[in-house]
Homo-oligomer: A and B are copies of this chain.
Amino acid sequence: MTRLLPVQDSSSFLSTTTIIALTVFFTLLCACIVIGHLLEENRWANESITSLLLGLISGVVVLLVTKFHSSKILVFSENLFFLYLLPPIIFNAGFQVKKKQFFQNFTTILLFGVFGSMISFCLISLGAFLLFKRIGITSLSMQDYLAVGAILSATDSVCTLQVLSQDDTPFLYSIVFGEGVVNDATSIVLFNAVQSLDLGSINAITALKLLGTFLYLFFTSTALGITVGFLSAYIIKTLYFGRHSTDREVALMMLMAYCSYMVAELLNLSGILTIFFCGIVMSHYTWHNVTESSRVTTKHSFATISFIAETFIFLYVGMDALDIDKWKSSNASLGTSIAVSSTLFALVLIGRAAFVFPISNCTNCIKRRESTQIQFRSQFIIWWAGLMRGAVTIALTYNQFSKSDTTTEDGALMITSTIIVVLFSTVVFGSITKPLIEAVKLKHAKPAISDETDSPSFEDLRLLFLENGDPNDQGNNQRGPWQSSFRLLISNPTSTVHYFWRKFDDKFMRPVFGGRGFVPFVPGSPSGAADEIS
């Protein structure tokens, strides 16, 4: 029916150009890792920037070697990106995310990811529509403007992972990264909607339909990911793979996670959301059902694969930036290019500011406890860290503006301008964010901004609800326990939900699907237990 990979028609085994491309690429990847390691101590640089710059440099070298005919060893391929590079990154993020922190901020994350992206989309589309005509771009259609909005609303969750540290700033990490994952889904939904939109009949019903589609996508994708995660936990627990080989366990976890992504794409759902939630469920249940060596292996090998994919993407984007054909066919003067790029970038800045600050303040009004509020400094970092644009943006731009080889002049200009925005935002914001966070922290001599979660109140809850807990111990609490629990439920809904979830998890879920404390016998060496069950 279709070919997964092209069959090379050359007479030799493998085409020489493919081998050259792969050799150069993998050598550069090795170089990125070594350089990234050497620059680890340096707080301005990080792996993304290193690989981006290394990609740019090698692009220049190829350009010089081929005498300005081509700068590309590899053409940016949406298939490669969406099928093979993005899934492991998002899966690993779900697998390693701190679940408690993530679910405590779930409401805020959803608000940012859904409404925020929509506000940003509207503002950028409107801004581009109003401003581009003044620069002299006239051939873009209404659909193109809407697409620009959707494309530039997609924040880069990959670079965010590298800039923010889950250990130093857990609150900011969970907000910005969680928003990035939901935002990916939102922008892709918006982009697909824009591409299939009948522009003759835009009205309130269309908008409602869009929202309906989004909600459908969100819930079905999440449900699919959770289902596959539970399935993997159940299979590995019931069949007890560890007794024969640890390799099968690891392979099954990898393959089932990837399957969840592919099935989601097959059903036209958001694969990113699916594999993210699959990762969360796998780390909560499946991971505890496997042997000790499988645990170490999965933890590190998922991180390694994700790390390689990230480096690959940035190297790729860097090499792709000098796409000489696009630069030639855009035909625009340097002035126009700069004007378009800076307009787009300004719109990105405004579009993000227009939802981060209002939504943060709204949530602050609802949450009354001082410690759970998002302070202004944190709001600023959330705004700043989400300004980076990455590979999703580039993939979407190519998809919109370089269809079927008939790129218009303005289309080519949009591609090159988007590449400039991506490069600029990644290099500049990527290098400044870390020092900025440190500066903000140091200035106020506070180890963590707003990172105090409501764990003290969770302790209260535990004391209140625990059957074995003695209520008389709480000397300074004068009211009866039920009155107090009602007060806690109102003031700390997240903790209460978390408490009941834990009880439900321990009583019903873990006995069936495994998990911490509910694992079958784990032998030290997997082959050692081969004789016990037969």
A-to-B contact residues, CB < 8 Å = 1-9, 11, 13-23, 25-27, 29-30, 33-34, 36-38, 40-41, 62, 66, 70, 72-75, 77-80, 82-83, 188, 192, 195, 235, 239, 241, 244, 246-248, 250-252, 254-256, 258-259, 262-263, 265-266, 293-294, 296-297, 300-301, 303-304, 307-308, 311, 399, 403-404, 534
Closest Cβ neighbor of A244 among chain B residues: B40
Supplied contacts A1-B17, A251-B304, A300-B301, 8 more A-B pairs, CB within 8 Å: A3-B75, A4-B22, A5-B79, A11-B195, A23-B263, A26-B259, A251-B308, A297-B300
Residue contact B72 to A1, C-beta cutoff 8 Å: yes
The CA of A294 and the CA of B301, in the complex, are separated in Å by: 9
B41, B82, B300: which contacts A250 (Cβ < 8 A)? B300
Q: Which residues of B contact A307 (CB under 8 A)?
A: 247-248, 251
**Which A-B residue pairs are the 3 nearest by beta carbons?**
A2-B17, A297-B300, A301-B301
Distance, CA A297 to CA B297, complexed state (A): 4
**Inside 8 A of A258's CB, which chain B residues have their CB?**
26
Q: Are A21 and B4 in contact (CB under 8 A)?
A: yes
Minimum CB–CB distance from A273 to chain B (whole Å) comes to 15
CB-CB under 8 A from A5, the residues of chain B are 5-6, 77, 79-80
In the complex, are the beta carbons of B265 and A77 less than 8 A apart? no
Inter-subunit contact B8/A79 (CB<8 Å): yes
Known contacts A23-B266, A244-B40, A294-B300: A3-B251 contact under CB 8 Å: no
Contact A13 B82 (CB under 8 A): yes
Q: Copy number in this complex?
A: 2
Q: How far is the CA of A254 from the CA of B262 in the complex (A)?
A: 25
Our pick among B25, B37, B73 for the contact of A248 (Cβ within 8 Å) is B37
User: Is B13 within 8 A of A78, CB to CB?
Assistant: yes
Taking the closest CB of chain B, its distance from the CB of A483, in whole angstroms, is 46
- Contact between B247 and A300 (Cβ–Cβ < 8 Å)? yes
Question: What residue in chain B is nearest A301 (Cβ atoms)?
Answer: B301
- 30 residue pairs bridging A and B, Cβ less than 8 Å apart: A1-B70, A1-B72, A3-B75, A4-B18, A4-B75, A5-B5, A6-B6, A6-B79, A11-B195, A13-B78, A13-B82, A13-B399, A14-B78, A14-B265, A18-B83, A19-B262, A19-B265, A19-B266, A22-B83, A23-B259, A26-B258, A26-B259, A30-B255, A33-B252, A36-B248, A37-B241, A247-B307, A251-B304, A293-B300, A297-B297
CB distance from A391 to the nearest CB of B (A): 13
Quick check: B262 and A26 within 8 Å, CB to CB?
Answer: yes
B14 touches A82 (CB 8 A): yes
The answer on a CB contact under 8 Å between B75 and A262 is no
Given A247-B300, A296-B297, A304-B247, the answer on whether A15 and B37 have CB atoms closer than 8 Å is: no
Chain B residue with the shortest CB-CB distance to A9: B404
Which residues from B are CB-within-8-Å of A79? Answer: 5-8, 14-15, 18
Q: Are A403 and B255 in contact (CB-based, < 8 A)?
A: no
Closest to A30 in B: B255
Say yes or no: A14-B83 contact (C-beta < 8 A), given A19-B266, A33-B251: yes
Q: How far is the CB of A8 from chain B (nearest CB, A)?
A: 5
Residue of B nearest to A36 (CB): B248
Whether B308 contacts A254 by the Cβ 8 Å rule is yes
Residue of B nearest to A16 (CB): B266
| Of A27, A72, A300, most B-chain CB atoms within 10 Å | A300
**Closest chain B residue, CB of each to CB of A240:** B37
Q: Is A37 within 8 A of B244, CB to CB? A: yes
Residues of B within 8 A of A534 (CB): 41
Give CA–CA (A403, B7) in the complex, Å. Answer: 11
Q: How far is the CA of A258 from the CA of B19 in the complex (A)?
A: 12
Cα of A36 to Cα of B70 in the assembled complex, Å:
48
Given the interface contacts A37-B248, A78-B14, A304-B250, does A256 sit within 8 Å of B30 by beta carbon? yes
Contact A262 B23 (CB under 8 A): yes
A379, chain B: closest CB distance, angstroms: 30
Task: State the CA gap A267–B129 with chains docked (Å).
Answer: 54
Q: How far is the CB of A419 from chain B (nearest CB, A)?
A: 17
Q: How far is the CA of A441 from the CA of B80 in the complex (A)?
A: 50
Residues of B within 8 A of A33 (CB): 248, 251-252, 255
Give the distance in Å from the alpha carbon of A61 to the alpha carbon of B173 in the complex.
48
Q: A293: which B residues are within 8 A, CB to CB?
A: 296, 300
Residues of B within 8 A of A11 (CB): 195, 403
Question: How far apart are A306's CB and chain B's nearest CB, in angstroms?
Answer: 8
The smallest beta-carbon distance between A227 and chain B, in angstroms, is: 14
- How many Å lie between the Cα of A273 and that of B16 in the bound state? 19
Q: Determine whether the beta carbon of A20 is less than 8 Å from that of B77.
A: no
Query: Would you call A77 and B3 a contact (CB within 8 A)?
Result: yes
